């Protein structure tokens, strides 16, 4: 696949977000529009849209920032806020924040009153290229990432790179992992575009174009398979082992940012691609070295293999007794539903340890 697809969902990449948001707000009664945001965005991001016509009428609920707040009690807080302020099925919820917030707000809007319209305004790179697009909503439960949720599409996603001026470098690099994944599963040309972008001296205008192309790639998979029964599973590359790394790290003093966990998961799953799909080992090594240079080293112990594998068995993509992976035979092509046994997964973890030495 070499041509960047076009959007199918209502995804708008703009540097005039006030204009685009104003068009949407004008379609709803002014007392039926609600803002869900997180504490950091309430301080740093709301001022970028507070001149939007109708914004002054929005009732607001603020969720504490941080992955540890992606939980049922936060959803309950949003439900209670909406219920106490007269929300009904003709209301609109505006979710302003990173992936944690848009997942929570989208789930709350999708379930209260059996569902109401919502708009996502992602403020981090990770949420712009991944979390706010595709309709996956939900929260973490019982130590498992995104264990509870539904698939429901927003009426629109508004992406403005100016929000990225509020984000620190580690979170920019975290979001970049999902863009790297899109290149690996869809287009060698897009991957090279990502590799050539200067992350240290970021030109937001150039980055905006790359984001638009990356989002369009994700949207093309979602459009063809909205409920993840087939080709949408391509988007899970790096996530089966990556989510296990992320969940394990949640229990430690040093949790991983999502994109870092996905990057490390991609290294291990590149090795599985070599074993299962004949991806050349030279490609595996070259890409792994690049990912380590970008994301740094992450140390795991062999004693953690059993716990990591147990976490993988809880992955929602699994069917039967083996762990289900999306792998890549070569850059730009995917092989979904690749079932790997425990010994092979442990071999991939051995490779991960070796590459981090």
Per residue in 278-320, pLDDT (tens digit) is 999 999 999 999 999 999 999 999 999 999 999 999 876 666 6
Domain over 170-355 is classified CATH 3.30.56.10: no
Report strand pairing: 59-63 vs 323-330.
Answer: unpaired
Check: CB of residue 213 under 8 Å from CB of residue 4: yes
Q: Quick check: 42 and 58 in contact, CB under 8 A?
A: no
Domain ranges in the chain? Answer: 11-167, 170-355
Q: Quick check: do 11-167 and 170-355 share a fold?
A: no
Task: List per-residue pLDDT tens for the chain, 357 residues long.
Answer: 445 665 555 889 998 999 999 999 999 999 999 999 999 999 999 999 999 998 888 999 999 999 899 999 999 999 999 999 999 999 999 999 999 999 999 999 999 999 999 999 999 999 999 877 788 999 999 988 789 999 999 999 999 999 999 899 999 999 999 999 999 999 999 999 999 999 999 999 999 999 999 999 998 999 899 888 899 999 999 999 999 999 999 888 889 999 999 999 999 999 999 999 999 999 999 999 999 999 999 999 999 999 999 999 987 666 666 799 999 999 999 999 999 999 999 999 999 999 998
Count of alpha carbons within 13 angstroms of residue 45, beta-carbon side = 27
Q: Tell me the backbone φ, ψ of residue 45, rounded to 5 degrees.
A: -115, -30
The beta strands (E) that lie in the chain are given as: 11-13, 33-38, 59-63, 92-97, 117-122, 139-141, 144-148, 156-159, 323-330, 333-340
CATH of domain 11-167: 3.40.50.1970
- Distance CA(187)–CA(248), nearest Å, equals 31
């Amino acid at each position: 696949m070499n041509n960047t697809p076009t959007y199918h969902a209502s995804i708008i990449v703009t540097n005039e977000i006030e204009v685009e948001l104003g068009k949407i707000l004008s379609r709803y009664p002014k007392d039926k529009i609600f803002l869900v945001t997180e504490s950091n965005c309430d301080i740093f991001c709301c001022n970028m849209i507070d001149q939007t016509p109708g914004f002054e009428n929005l009732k607001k609920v603020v969720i504490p920032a941080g992955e540890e707040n992606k939980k049922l009690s936060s959803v309950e807080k949003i439900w209670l806020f909406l219920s106490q302020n007269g929300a009904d099925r003709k209301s609109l919820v505006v979710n302003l924040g990173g992936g944690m917030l848009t997942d929570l707000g989208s789930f709350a809007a999708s379930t209260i009153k059996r569902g109401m319209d919502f708009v996502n305004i992602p403020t981090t790179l990770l949420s712009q290229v991944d979390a706010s697009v595709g309709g996956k909503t939900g929260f973490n439960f019982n130590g498992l990432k995104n264990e509870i949720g539904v698939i429901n599409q927003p009426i629109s996603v508004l992406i403005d790179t100016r929000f990225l001026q509020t984000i620190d470098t580690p979170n920019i690099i975290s979001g970049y992992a999902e863009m790297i994944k899109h290149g690996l599963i869809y287009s060698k040309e897009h991957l090279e575009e990502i590799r050539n972008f200067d992350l240290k001296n970021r030109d937001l205008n150039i980055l905006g174009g790359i984001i638009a192309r990356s989002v369009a790639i994700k949207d093309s998979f979602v459009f063809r398979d909205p409920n993840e029964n087939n080709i949408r599973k391509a988007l899970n590359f790096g996530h089966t082992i990556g989510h296990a790394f992320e969940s394990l790290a949640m229990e430690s003093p040093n949790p991983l940012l999502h994109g870092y966990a996905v990057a490390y998961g991609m290294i291990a799953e590149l090795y599985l691609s070599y074993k299962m799909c004949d991806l050349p080992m030279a490609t595996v090594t070259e890409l792994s070295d690049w990912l380590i240079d970008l994301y740094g080293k992450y140390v795991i112990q062999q004693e953690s293999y059993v716990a990591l594998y147990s976490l993988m068995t809880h992955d929602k993509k699994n069917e039967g007794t083996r762990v289900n992976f999306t792998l890549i035979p070569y850059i730009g092509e995917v092989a979904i539903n690749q079932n790997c046994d425990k010994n092979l997964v442990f071999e991939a973890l051995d490779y991960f340890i070796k590459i981090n030495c």
